[in-house]
Structure 1
């Protein structure tokens, strides 16, 4: 039956071999000390006080509304993102985690990550976070150089960023990520490599190293800074990747590098088309139903609306049609440098690999996809021209 003969509804995918994927949770805390000029995330400058209690209650009510999507699965990872989640007290995070544990349950080896900025670091506070079971930090450094930090609107300095890494270890975190940008305003190759060397010296287990892009609805969009030329950006990328590899940081995703065995499990679940609950103002999620339907959902964006019981929670949701699934799946998994086993396509979508055959042949002929029937993995050229590769699988 076609979509047209079915009253316009999308044809459901075949589900004979579909398996419910692992389940993670993303929890969005939308407040930060100050909005950065490059940031297009749903973040809002905090006032004199944060509505912690009201927001915790709203998050747990949000989770209650989504409980039917859990399907007896336990959470394999939780990621507190923002904004700046470390603005919340340990007691507020404890109530969130305990509520999630009671309602869903945690895998024995669950990974729980908290985003933090150096300017919000307090060692006693972070010891409390660690005692709650939060076992991974992601520290938003972006740069160690005063001029670059000023251009980015950051509220910390380079010394604070270094102290933050020291305090993370002192608080008991043996697994932490540093977020670092390159391609910053008027940045030279040596500037970028200097930042990267300082970051490596802090011995993080994971580095997110990504190029600054100017996004709509940001201050940088309306007042663009002077960014490096393309040739400089290419030199930074090549030299930086070589430096990271020389220090044992393997690239496993477009902008993610990790020591052996320290890849972010939350990220891997996302990029392998796993399911995740999206909790909090503006949060997005994805879930798979036992009948094979796959949906994306998103919550109301403004914190004041999210806190209003009459306006929360689900701003929208969309069922992915059968012909959209190949593109949606590949848009995620092809960001991974090693790709995924080909059979994961059927396990995650319930669809036959035959649906990818025509696009695969074209992609392999263009040198964008490796000619390995057992894996779906982009070639180095395909990684560089990922958008061109994905276009071959559009419905």
Structure 2
């Protein structure tokens, strides 16, 4: 009997206090009062519609992202979870992650989240340098970030991630190393460490700051990787480092091409019909005002992925991972024959971007350095 494809749920909360100049996510500054109750009701209706199309299934992980999900009260999430569990079953060891802005969390609210079953907190720290935080438009300070991490631990969270960026405008190598050193002395279990990039349709794309020189960024990476390894933070994905048993299960499901429902304004999903072996991409209406309109459909696109779509999307995710990627996983998640990868695999191996093993492949150091080039090998 075929093993069911693991399924996650992504919930998007689209509002924030202030839009960061580098942010290209579907986030919108609060204008007036927050329509919290109406939005929770809309999420419930959204999920009901998805379930009517793609059938109930066991939910292994939930990720509440944004925007700033910590703007919503615990009672709102309590109502949402109660209604969701009337429609689907949560696994016994479900991982539920909530993203939070250090400026919007307090001990009392964190304790509420924890009691609800939210068992993983992800804090958008970005840096512990106040000057650099101002440069990238963050509304919190270093002291608020440290206080938020302490409050999370005191509230009962034992699984805490922080996001940090490097290559921030005017950041020095020493600044970047100091951020890592501070992080390693905190009660966190996971670190997401991203390189600062200028994305399209952002404030910084119109008024680009001077980024860190590439040679300094590469030096910083080498030094930081060594520090993290020595502190028993294992790199298991391009930007993800975890202590033992603290890998982000939700993100691992993305990277191993599992299924996920996506509800909320602008949310995307990827869902498999095991009977027809068709794999769908779903997309919800982007603007919060339109999403809240009860008369308008929330699901604006359902696309069946072609074989070429599946090959590229699978490899786009799988090549982010460290270690061996088994060939068997490709067939399990795409229903395609591994032979369809042969031509691109051979080319990638010849360019020393991949190394073949008996049962799969591993991204080489060169492939990791030029991940985009590696992924493009599977586009055509």
> How far apart are residue 19 of structure 1 and its match?
5.1
1:335/1:202 CA distance change after superposition, 3 Å: same
For the residues of structure 2 that align with 1:114 and 1:60, how far apart are their CA atoms?
18
* Pairwise CA RMSD: 1.3
Give the SS at the match of 1:377. Answer: strand
Greater Cα offset, 71-80 or 267-276: 71-80
Match of 2:321 among 328, 336, 344: 336
Matched, 1:264 2:248: yes
In structure 1, stretches of 5+ residues that fail to align are 1-16
Cα distance in 1 between the residues matched to 2:269 and 2:358: 31
Alignment of 1:246-261 (within 5 A): 246-261=230-245
Tell me, yes or no, if the aligned pair for 2:280 and 2:304 is still in contact at 8 Å: yes
Counterpart of 2:163 in structure 1 is 179
Alignment correspondent of 2:104: 120
Normalised by the length of structure 2, the TM-score is 0.97
Q: SS in structure 2 opposite 1:276?
A: strand
Matched, 1:353 2:338: yes
Matches within 5 A, 1:25-44: 25-44=9-28
- Where relative contact order (Cα < 8 A, 6+ residues apart) is larger, the structure is 1
In 2, Cα distance between equivalents of 1:70 and 1:200: 42
Corresponding residue for 2:294? Answer: 309
Q: Hey, what does 1:367 align to over in structure 2?
A: 352
Report the Cα offset of residue 32 of structure 1. 0.6
Aligned with residue 215 of structure 1, among 196, 199, 202: 199
After the TM superposition, list the runs of 4 or more consecutive aligned residues in structure 1 that deviate by more than 6 angstroms: none
Give deviations 1:108-161, integer Å, cap 9, x for gaps: 000000000110111011101100000000001001111101011111111111
Q: How do 1:96-115 and structure 2 match up within 5 A?
A: 96-115=80-99
Tell me the distance in 1 between the aligned counterparts of 2:2 and 2:303: 19
CA change 1:373–1:324 in 2 (3 A) is farther
Query: Aligned residues, how many?
Result: 379
- 1:18-167 aligned at under 5 Å gives the runs 20-68=4-52, 70-167=54-151
Partner of 1:392: 377
Q: TM-score, normalised by structure 1?
A: 0.93
Q: Secondary structure of the residue that 2:354 maps to in structure 1?
A: coil
Contact 1:20 1:288 in 2 (8 A): no
Separation of aligned partners in 2, 1:112 and 1:159: 26
Say which SS state the counterpart of residue 310 (structure 2) adopts: helix
Q: Secondary structure at the match of 1:370?
A: strand
Shift of 1:72: 4.2
Q: Does structure 2 retain, via aligned residues, the 8 Å contact 1:70–1:104?
A: no
Q: State whether residues 250 and 258 of structure 1, in contact with CA within 8 Å, keep that contact through their aligned partners in structure 2.
A: yes
Match of 1:206 among 190, 201, 204: 190
Q: Which runs of 5+ in 2 are unaligned?
A: none
Is 263-272 or 304-313 further displaced after alignment? Answer: 304-313
Match of 1:3 in 2: none
SS at match of 1:102: coil
Contact 1:208 1:256 in 2 (8 A): yes
Q: How many angstroms does 1:323 deviate by?
A: 2.7
For 1:18 and 1:252, locate their aligned partners in 2 and report how far apart those are by CA, in whole Å: 27
Name the SS for the 2:171 alignment partner. coil
Query: Cα offset for 1:243?
Result: 1.1
